[in-house]
Structure formats: C-alpha cells, structure tokens
Amino acid sequence: MIQKHKKNTQKFMVSAFFIMLLGMVAGTQDASAFFQDNTQQEIEYTLYKGEVQDSKSKKPLVFASLAIEESNISTITNAEGEFSLKIPNDMGDANVIVSFLGYSTKTIPLTQLDKEKSKIMMDISVTALPEVNIEVPKDAEALVRDVLKKKGENYFDDPTLMTAFYRETIKKRRKNVSLSEAVVNIYKTPYSSFKKDGVKLYKARKSTDYDKLDTVALKLQGGPFNALFVDIMKYPEYIFSQETLDHYIFKFDHSTRVNDKLVYVISFEQNSQVIDPLYKGKLYIDAENKILTSAIYSLNITDKDLAARLFVRRKPRNAQVWPTDVAYRVDYREKNGKWYYSYSNVLLEFKINWDKRLFNSIYSMTCEMAVTDWKKNMATEFPKAKDRIKTSIILSDEAIGFADPDFWGQYNIIEPEKSIESAIKKIQRQLRRANSDGGTSIP
C-alpha cells in the first residue's frame, strides 16, 4: 500500500483553513468601525452593472471575468452571473474584455454598456483540433511537472502590489447568516521566490444575524490567506509537492478554449492505493505556452474523523462536527506575456450533530478573493510585521458593521448575491430597531 506522508496534507489545512465553533454569543448589536486611509486620493469613476449570460440558454455565467483593455482593472461575476465594474472617468473610451471558460471572448466598448443593467451574451466556443505548430503532449503527468517547473519563466517575476476584494459568507442551509468583506493590499513576491506574500488590510465590514446560528458563532480563521494560498503556482507545496505528485493519476480530458486560445484539460485524482486524503479535479493548461490558467478541485474527505481534526479547532462539547465538502478554484490572467493570480474561492460545507436533538445543522462557508488592480512594486516595498495581517486572522472579529453604499469608494468589488443583499437589509432593520431602544447607531 502507498501511504502519503501526512505532514504535507496537514500543513496545507493548518496553514490556511480553520473553522472555529465557539459557544454562546452575547448580544446582537453591530457597531460602525472601519479600516480607512484618509490620505487615499479620490478618483472620479463611473459604475457599470449588469449580467453575463449564455446566449442560447440565458443561464447566468458564474465567475466570468471582465477586464478593461490595456489596463490592470478587472472584476468577476458573482454566483448569479452579475457584476459591478468601476471605471475611472478618464478611461471612458476603453473596451471591456469578457471571458469565460469554454466560451468565445468578447470585446465591448464601454460606450455600449448600460450603466445600470447591461446584459452580455456569450457564445460557446467550438474547440478545433490543435494547430499544426503545437506539439500535442502524450504524458499528462509530464506536462503538469513541466508547468510547475516553469513558473519562474511564465508568471510575474517582479514584486507586485495588488489591490484585491475579499468576501466570506456563512449560510445555514440556504439562508445567509453572516457576511464579511474587505479590501486588501497584497504584496506579491515573484513566483520564483520562496518568500510568502504579505497582506495588509485596507477596509473591512461585516453583518451577522446571530439568531440563525444555533447560539454558535462560526468563525473562519485565516481570512484572505484562505484564498491566497490556493494560488497553486505560488504555493505548489500545498497540493502538488515533489513528494505528492507521484501519488496522483493524471489524464487528458476534452480540450477547451480560454480567451480564444486552445487549452488542455487534465483531470487528476489520487492513486487508489494512497491512504491519506489528497485532491481530485481538473487543471486548465494553455496548450501553446504550457501555462496553468485555471484549476478546479476538491479534497477527499471520506475519512470523516481525520477531516474533522484538520478543520475544526474548537466546538461545543455537545456537538459532533465534520466537513461534507471542501472545494477550491483558482484563475490566472495574462498581461504582456506574463501570468498572475487573479481570483480564487474556497467552499467548506459541514454538518453539526447535536446531542439530544432530532435534526442536524448544515452550514457552508465560502470565501473568495479577486484582484481588481495591480502595479509593479519596483521599490520592493513590504509592510512591517506589525502592519501585516497574520494567517491566524479572523476577519469577522476585525470588521464591525455595514456602511453606506459609497463605503468602497473607487474600489471594485464582487457584486453580492440578491439573497445576501436581502439578508443584510433585514439584519440592518433588526439592528436599527434594537438601537432605537438604546444602543450603538448604524449609518
């Protein structure tokens, strides 16, 4: 029997993903306190909102990418295919490039977008056979190894300062009960460097309906690092280390297209003889340049007890807790021949069985982060330790309250789902009623 060394799996989980289940929550009031930089220069911008759909089925396209041509500004659609995009007014004549896995890329002038309800229809791309000048690889595992080996050549090789939007959502079954959001600065080190990226919190806010949490507060430890460590090309040791690569089976799947370029799809899963939990999913690799453009995968959590030990730091004594689904996604974007991390998300779904209760509780925790702007960090600035957030951060403890619609200013965010917006408004009404009896006011 082949047995993977447990240290690598546990290193990934312990470094990045923790669910913390705490005891009774006292009080239901939120206050207004935000992280802000008053020295930030204000930029006049125009907000464009809309939806990206399949042209035939009219089905919303989730995680479609929208980027301003010849700039570093971008965003991504939400779980309902909706987007919001803030563009500086001096770029009013620019084009928006819309792309989605398996669909033909579209270039649309900003002047053709409706500022309130644009509908962008995407056509499925018919994948042709590989061009004659592209040598078709025969060994899927060898291709993956080659991609990982060339990360220093194909991805950003300069220090880069990125602005990113991060969101954590907690749902009880299908109802939203908590939402935390932040704008962060990512001090991205070169992909060839072993130095970890630094993250600095710029703005943050939250809204929580504690009445729906079974008197238990669920907290996700790690904050933005949960999403950042899914950057496979920067942190391959968390999934494809030199030790673990041998424990996977790699196979070629049907090819597709991204930004009108041929992309190989490689499926992977752990060898059936491997005991410890590994991953299963698909890698999307640019056929011409051998570059990873996206990855979608999940963790094998058939061992319920082991999975619980990896993810649950603390829990009530009268509860059994274990994850039922752990899934990941990461996307990369290209600029001037070099690729960089642009978006990732993590889904943690789990059950809580309570002693002496007939029904269990089902929760899901989702975190996602999208890079909305970046520039070269030629001065190699890096925040001091006291200014950087730690991998142990609990964002919901740092951010308090929900603010007015102009809270984010010029920054691009992922458009919230309608259900999230409804939940926030309901929570705000409840808090205002509580505050009318004497409490902290909310704007």
Whether residue 208 is predicted with pLDDT greater than 90 in this model: the reply is no
Query: Exposed e or buried b for every residue in 380-392, given b needs 16+ CB within 10 A?
Result: eebeeeeebbebe
Sign of the torsion formed by the C-alpha atoms of 203, 225, 193 and 338: negative
- Predicted pLDDT of residue 428: 64
Residue, of 313 and 344, whose pLDDT is higher:
344
Long-range contacts formed by 189-195: CB under 8 A, 24+ apart: 189/159, 190/152, 190/156, 190/157, 190/158, 190/159, 191/151, 191/152, 191/155, 191/156, 191/157, 191/233, 191/234, 192/151, 192/152, 192/157
As a whole number, the mean pLDDT across the chain is: 81
For 144, phi and psi rounded to 5 degrees?
A: -60, -45
Query: Exposed e or buried b for every residue in 312-323, given b needs 16+ CB within 10 A?
Result: beebbeebebbb
For 372, phi and psi rounded to 5 degrees?
A: -105, -15
Which is nearest to 160 in space by CA: 318, 385, 342? 342
CB proximity list for 55: less than 8 A, separation 6 or greater: 121, 122, 123
Summarize pLDDT for 151-201 with one digit per residue, the tens.
989 999 999 999 999 999 888 877 777 888 999 999 999 999 999 999 999
DSSP 290-325: TEEEEEEEEE----HHHHHHHHEEE--TTEEEEEEE
Which is nearest to 399 in space by CA: 157, 239, 179, 120? 179
How far apart are alpha carbons 430 and 177 in whole angstroms? 13
Q: Which two tokens mark 124? A: 């499925």
CB proximity list for 244: less than 8 A, separation 6 or greater: 4, 8, 278
Tokens 């009623």 sit at which residue?
A: 433
* SS3 at position 103: strand
Tally Cβ neighbours within 10 Å of residue 442.
18
How far apart are alpha carbons 150 and 138 in whole angstroms? 19
In the chain, DSSP finds a helix count (H) and a strand count (E) of 7, 21
- Predicted pLDDT of residue 14: 33
- Predicted pLDDT of residue 218: 73
Summarize pLDDT for 79-97 with one digit per residue, the tens.
899 999 999 998 888 999 9
Tokens 């280390």 sit at which residue?
A: 241
Tally Cβ neighbours within 10 Å of residue 34.
14
Can you list the positions of beta strands (E) in 102-242? 106-109, 118-122, 160-172, 175-188, 198-208, 218-221
- pLDDT band of residue 437 (cuts 50, 70, 90) is low
Summarize pLDDT for 24-64 with one digit per residue, the tens.
333 333 333 334 444 445 678 899 999 999 999 999 999 89
Percent of residues in the chain assigned helix, strand, coil, to nearest 5: 15, 40, 40
Apex 49 CA angle, 96 and 87, nearest 5: 50
